[in-house]
Amino acid sequence: MENNQIIREFYDKQSAYEWERLAQHPFEFEINLRFLKRHIKPGDRVLDVGGGPGRYSFALKELGCDVTLIDLSPGNVRFAEEKARELGLPLRAFAADARDLSCLADEMFDHVLCMGPLYHLLEESDRERAVRECLAHLKPGGTLAVSFISLTSGLIFMGRENPGILITPAEAEPLAAMIRDDSWGGQGFTRAFFTSPGAVLPFMERFPLEKLHFLASEPIVCAFEDRILAQPPEVVSAWMDLAEKVCEQERFYHFSEHLLYIGRKDVTPHA
C-alpha cells in the first residue's frame, strides 16, 4: 500500500483521538502555541498545512485570525468542519497533499504552519518539496512553523508506557539509529519519520528562512507529564512557565518527543 494511503486511512480513523491527544498532553500544544503567538497577531491570514482536526487552527481563530486548514485526511477535514460549526468559528478546510498545494492557486498567507506533514514523508526529497510548497504560499517576511518528531520519542514512549518493548526485534533498527544519533523512517505508531534533533537546522538551512526559534515542545516533562497534570493549577502553570524558559536550550532537545522550528521568510528570497 502506498504510504500516503496508509497515512490517510490511519488519520481517517484517528480524528477524534488526535483532537483529544493535544488536550491530554497540553505541554506540546501550549508551548508551541505560546511561541506561535509571539509572531501571529489578530487579523493575520494563517495557513495550517497538515493541521489534522484543527486544534491549532481553532486556537488561532479564537485569536482573531483568518485560518485555512489543509490535511491529507478527509476524515480530519470533516472533523474540523464539524468542530467549526459546533464552536461557531467558520473555517475553510481542504483535503490535500502537503507536497501539492495547487488547491490554493496563488493565495498568500502571513504565516504558514507545517506541523504534521514532515512526520510522515519518509523520503527527504518529499520533505523538502512540502516545505517549498509552504513557502510558495507564504508572504516575504512571514513566518513558517515546522514540527518534527524526535527519534528519542520512541524511547520516551517505551519507558513511560511499556519498557518491555525495548527488547523486541522490531525496535532494533530505530534503536541503532538513535545510538548513532541518526534519523530513521519506518513503522512506528504508523508509517513515520523520526528526526535526530541535530538534523533539523541543517535541513531548514536549505530554505530562504531566518531562524527565529528552534525548541523542544515538551522539554524535561515528557516522562512525567501525567504527574504534573495531577497537581494544583498553580503547580502546572509553574512547570509550563519553566518549560517555556528552557525549551530553546539544546541540552533539552533529546528530552522531548516533538521539536518546533519557526523561521521568517526572506524579504528577497534566494534564487
Domain extents in the chain: 3-265
Given this model, what pLDDT does residue 125 score? Answer: 97
Nearest-angstrom CA–CA distance, 185 and 26: 26
Question: What stretch of H or E contains 155?
Answer: helix 152-161
Are the C-beta atoms of 3 and 120 separated by less than 8 Å? yes
pTM: 0.95
Cell 531566518 belongs to residue: 210
Are the C-beta atoms of 67 and 90 separated by less than 8 Å? no
Given this model, what pLDDT does residue 220 score? Answer: 85
Nearest-angstrom CA–CA distance, 227 and 84: 32
Q: What is the pLDDT along the chain (271 residues), one digit of tens a residue?
A: 478 899 999 999 999 999 999 888 899 999 999 999 999 999 999 999 999 999 999 999 999 999 999 999 999 999 999 999 999 999 999 999 999 999 999 999 999 999 999 999 999 999 999 999 999 999 999 999 999 999 999 888 888 889 999 999 999 999 999 999 999 999 988 999 999 999 999 999 999 999 999 999 999 888 889 999 999 999 999 999 999 999 999 999 999 999 999 999 998 745 4
Nearest-angstrom CA–CA distance, 172 and 96: 34
Given this model, what pLDDT does residue 164 score? Answer: 95
Given this model, what pLDDT does residue 2 score? Answer: 73
Are the C-beta atoms of 63 and 86 separated by less than 8 Å? no
CATH topology of domain 3-265: Rossmann fold (3.40.50)
Given this model, what pLDDT does residue 161 score? Answer: 87
Given this model, what pLDDT does residue 271 score? Answer: 43
- Assigned C-alpha cell, 49: 498545512
CA distances from 40 to 14, 61, 62, 204, 238 (A): 28, 11, 12, 20, 24
Are the C-beta atoms of 75 and 11 separated by less than 8 Å? yes
Bridge partners of 68, per DSSP, are 47, 92
